[in-house]
Amino acid sequence: MGAKMFDPEGVGVHNGRWFGMPFSVSEAALALISVPWDVTSSYGGGSSRGPAAMLEASTQLDFYDPWAPEAWRRGIATVPIDDAILQHNNELRPLARKIIEAQEEGKTIDPRALQKINRASGELNIRVEYEARKLLGAGKLVGVVGGDHSTPFGLISALGQKHESFGILHLDAHCDLRERYEGFEGSHASVMFNVLRDVPRVSHLVQVGVRDFSTAEMEFARTHKKVTLFTGALLAQNSFVGVTWAEQCRQIVSALPSRVYISFDVDFLSPSLCPGTGTPVPGGVGFDEAAWLVRTIRDSGRTVVGFDLCEVSPATVLDAVVGARMLFKLCGQILK
């Protein structure tokens, strides 16, 4: 079905494309790369199945968004899910689990096994970066749909080669600032540490909603000149004394530069909205509050250069539906 024949008011079409839309990559302003990878997930797994589950759920959305009406008409294209990534993930995940379990039981880690996982994580980053660079070179906006939170590193790296500087709005229950976690250099718990170390053109990291972190991570965040923290505790405290969410969003956005990348871990939301996510944490924000924060970025005149949505593990129908709908909200604000 071509774009001219597409009926946005009709029944959702399962055509292997996001939201059942007809756009090819060449026709669309925005292209989505799915990365089905969760090799180093440290607690609950399953986010490697997130892209496929969200893709299926996305076809039952209605397209009218009052905060970004008709924005989708600029085109949202689907980069086909690479089954080879998922197959490699499924081969390596049991090996990573053995490494994690050995540490939990106080046993010695097999260094060759650890090296194999770290090498595979690095190769995945190269693969995603290569795909992202092609799309950015063709003038596309690009988003990554994970997978765990390690998956967008390649896109962020590619953007670091395209732009002189940009900031990251990091929406997450966790800081992800560990140098390595459980021995894994490419861990989901290390992605922002790796970004700050390896992508020097990231000028700001504004972390919002973090509510589960180590003492070392908190010290790193408080002392690093590029990092600004809006912890979950701070957001809650402000609301208790009468600071509106709109005002808190303005304060958050004021800490960002003119170009912004949005990194959205679904556990930023209340776990009631994403019960299957791998490392749920009590607290979090509602769906509309998260969408309002993204809208505030656009209303401020800042340019969103890219984004990711990660850590959706489809243990329930709700997980996939919430993930797909938040993805549509992100796409709409970026295309608006």
Q: Using the predicted structure, report yes or no on whether residue 235 has a pLDDT greater than 70.
A: yes
Residues contacting residue 79 through CB under 8 Å, at least 6 positions apart: 25, 31, 32, 33, 34, 131, 135
Q: Are 151 and 190 in contact (CB under 8 A)?
A: no
Q: What is the mean pLDDT of residues 235-239?
A: 98
Q: How far apart are CA 258 and CA 161, in angstroms?
A: 17
Tokens of 50: 């997130």
140-166 average pLDDT score: 98
Q: How many CB atoms lie within 10 A of CB 331?
A: 26
In this structure, what DSSP letter does residue 67 have?
A: T
Question: CB-based contacts of 130: which residues, under 8 Å, 6+ apart?
Answer: 154
- Over range 289-306, report the average pLDDT: 97
pTM of the model: 0.96
Q: What is the pLDDT of residue 108?
A: 87
Query: Strand, coil or helix: what is 161?
Result: helix
> What band does 103 get if pLDDT is binned at 50, 70 and 90?
confident
Place of tokens 């950015």: 136
C-alpha dihedral sign at 12, 18, 19, 22: negative
- What is the tens place of the pLDDT at every residue in 170-207? 999 999 999 988 889 989 999 999 999 999 999 999 99
CB 34 within 8 A of CB 17: no
> Residue holding tokens 């905060």?
67
Total number of domains in the chain: 1
What integer pLDDT is reported at residue 3 of this predicted model? 62
Checking if the pLDDT of 335 tops 80, the result is yes
Domain extent at residue 223: 3-335
Average pLDDT over residues 300-328: 97
Average pLDDT, the chain: 95
Question: What is the average per-residue pLDDT within 119-136?
Answer: 97
- Predicted confidence (pLDDT) at residue 102 exceeds the cutoff of 60: yes
Q: Supply the CATH number for residue 276's domain.
A: 3.40.800.10
Tokens of 68: 């970004």
User: Residues 208-223, buried b or exposed e (16+ Cβ, 10 A)?
Assistant: bbbbbbeeebeebbee
Mind listing the pLDDT tens digit for each residue in 22-80?
Answer: 999 999 999 999 999 999 988 878 999 999 999 999 999 999 999 999 999 999 999 99
Phi, psi of 53 (to 5 degrees): -65, -40
* pLDDT score, position 251: 98
pLDDT number for residue 145: 98
pLDDT band at residue 4 under the 50/70/90 scheme: low
Residue 11: predicted pLDDT: 78
At how many degrees (to 10) do helices 232-240 and 245-254 cross? 140
Instruction: Report the pLDDT value the prediction gives residue 228, as an integer from 0 to 100.
Output: 98
Closest to 311 measured CA to CA, from 183, 194, 123, 170: 170
Q: Which helix (H) or strand (E) holds 229?
A: strand 227-230
Which of the four pLDDT bands, split at 50, 70 and 90, describes residue 2? low
Lowest mean pLDDT among 7-11, 266-270, 274-278: 7-11
What is the reported pLDDT for 44? 79
Residue 44's Cβ-count burial label (10 Å; 0-12, 13-18, 19+) is middle
Residue 1 confidence (pLDDT) above 60: no
- Predicted pLDDT of residue 219: 96
Burial of 282 (0-12, 13-18, 19+ CB in 10 A): exposed
The predicted structure's pLDDT at residue 131: 97
Are 142 and 324 in contact by the 8 Å Cβ rule? The answer is no
pLDDT for the residue numbered 35: 98
- Return d(Cα 148, Cα 207) in angstroms, integer: 18
Structure tokens given for 5: 């024949």
Report the C-alpha gap between 96 and 118 in whole angstroms.
Answer: 10
- Report the alpha-carbon angle 295-300-305, nearest 5: 75
Task: Answer whether residue 15 shows pLDDT above 90.
Answer: no
Residue 139 has pLDDT above 90, yes or no: yes
Residues of the chain with pLDDT > 90, as a percent, come to 88
CB contact set of 123 (below 8 Å; sequence gap of 6+): none
